[in-house]
Amino acid sequence: MSAPRAGEPGALRARLPHLRLPLAACAVLAVIGVPAAAVVRGPTGGAGVAAGIGLVVFSYLVSSLSVAWADAVNPRLIMSVGLVTYATKIVLLGVVMSAVAATGWPGLPDMGVAIIAGVLVWTGAHLTWALRSPLPTVGEPNGH
């Protein structure tokens, strides 16, 4: 059975199997990282780590869902939707992080470390998924 084409029922869900492994990997990172930070750096450190990992997960989910939606509706939308999503996320991230930094919140360094760790874990898990997934194939031009 092939994946549903754009516009068919189930088209969006069929474009999201790559999320399972990175989400699970980030959950493991949070289960280990948040309590460890809370022990070493106090409750604020734990909150910073939780916020950092949450921000990474939210960011990648928004990107994945928007691009999958565009592909499920009309594959010609992928590039424009992806670029608009990316630009919007970067601007909002800059505004939010500037606001957080302006408060002098002591969990900011912990959040920064968790963002870096979250990006590395998500990217590594996504790469692992991609390398283990079967490559899509296209029929031969002569039909053989």
How many Cα atoms sit within 13 Å of 30 on the Cβ side? 17
DSSP 97-134: HHHHHHHT-TTHHHHHHHHHHHHHHHHHHHHHHHHHSP
Query: What digits encode the pLDDT tens for the residues 12-69?
Result: 888 898 999 999 999 999 999 999 999 999 999 999 999 999 999 999 999 999 999 9
Query: What digits encode the pLDDT tens for the residues 62-104?
Result: 999 999 999 888 889 999 999 999 999 999 999 999 999 999 9
Count the domains in the chain.
1
The answer as to whether 137 is a domain residue is no
Domain of 62 in residue numbering reads as: 17-130
pLDDT of residue 137: 67
| Residue 60 · residue 22 · CB < 8 Å | yes
The answer as to whether 1 is a domain residue is no
Mean pLDDT of 98-120: 96
- Residue 140 pLDDT more than 90? no
The answer as to whether 2 is a domain residue is no
- Residue 138 pLDDT more than 60? yes
- Residue 7 pLDDT more than 90? no
Give the integer Cα–Cα distance in Å for 3 and 11: 7
The answer as to whether 117 is a domain residue is yes
Sign, CA torsion 42/44/49/54:
positive
